[in-house]
Amino acid sequence: MKAFTHSNENLQSVAVLVLRIGLGAVMFAHGAQKVIGAFGGKGLEATVTGMSTGLGVPEFMAYLSCYTEFLGGLGLLLGILTRFFGTAVFINMMVAVLAVHAKNGFFAPTGYEFPLSLALMSLTITIAGPGLLSLDHLLFPKYRHTEKPKLSSPAH
């Protein structure tokens, strides 16, 4: 029963790592399609042109979106600048939900369920932080937690 009720910072860090790797891999792969034409993608210029002409997105925003997926995915995979990239991916995916996919309803392939799921994953990572198993934890000891947060107990 303890396995279902017990948690600690190590287990939470493993959970965040799994979430970071999953989201980071998906974002990096989609960004690599857009930025370098990997995995059958069209590459940067074709993607920016398509976003600008097809969706009416300003060119600089199209570039920003492509690089957010590519670099944000890499940052999340490695756990470097995790909250920055988590926030950037969250914003990028919420724009995709609201500006592109919402009109198509909830369900994939054109609905908003997939980008919304990615947005919520990135928000979770942003709130939770990178965890112990990250480059952030190794490189920025100044920002490590030094005290445990205390939950207030109900008054008796």
If one counts the domains in the chain, the total is 1
pLDDT, average across residues 15-37: 98
Name the nearest CA neighbour of 96 among 82, 85, 110, 75: 110
Q: What's the CA gap between 71 and 125, in Å, rounded?
A: 16
**pLDDT score of 145 more than 70:** no
**Distance between CA 63 and CA 72 in Å, rounded?**
13
Structure tokens at 86: 């988590």
97 within domain boundaries: yes
Supply the pLDDT for residue 155: 57
Q: What is the pLDDT of residue 107?
A: 95
C-beta separation of 76 from 23 below 8 A: yes
Is the pLDDT at 9 greater than 90? The verdict is no
Q: Is residue 1 one of the residues assigned to a domain?
A: no
Is residue 151 assigned to a domain? no
Tokens of 136: 């952030």
Which domain covers residue 112, as residue numbers?
9-142
H helix runs in the chain, sequence order: 2-5, 9-36, 44-55, 59-78, 82-95, 113-128, 135-139
Residue 154 lies in a domain: no
154 has a pLDDT exceeding 70: no
- In a domain, residue 115? The reply is yes
| 141 cis-preceded (ω within 30 degrees of 0) | no
Assigned domain for 13 exists: yes
Q: What is the pTM of this model?
A: 0.88
**Chain length of the chain:** 156
| Residue 71 domain-assigned (yes or no) | yes
How far is Cα 75 from Cα 77, in angstroms, rounded to an integer?
5
Q: What is the pLDDT of residues 104-142, one digit of tens each?
A: 999 989 999 999 999 999 999 999 999 999 999 999 988
**70 domain residue, yes or no:** yes
Residue 83 to residue 47: CA distance in whole angstroms: 27
Tell me if 27 sits within 8 A of 73, measured CB to CB. yes
pLDDT (tens digit, 9 = 90+) per residue, 54-99?
989 999 999 999 999 999 999 999 999 999 999 999 999 999 999 9
pLDDT of residue 147: 57
Q: Which residues of 97-106 are buried (b: 16+ CB within 10 A; e: fewer)?
A: beebbeeeee
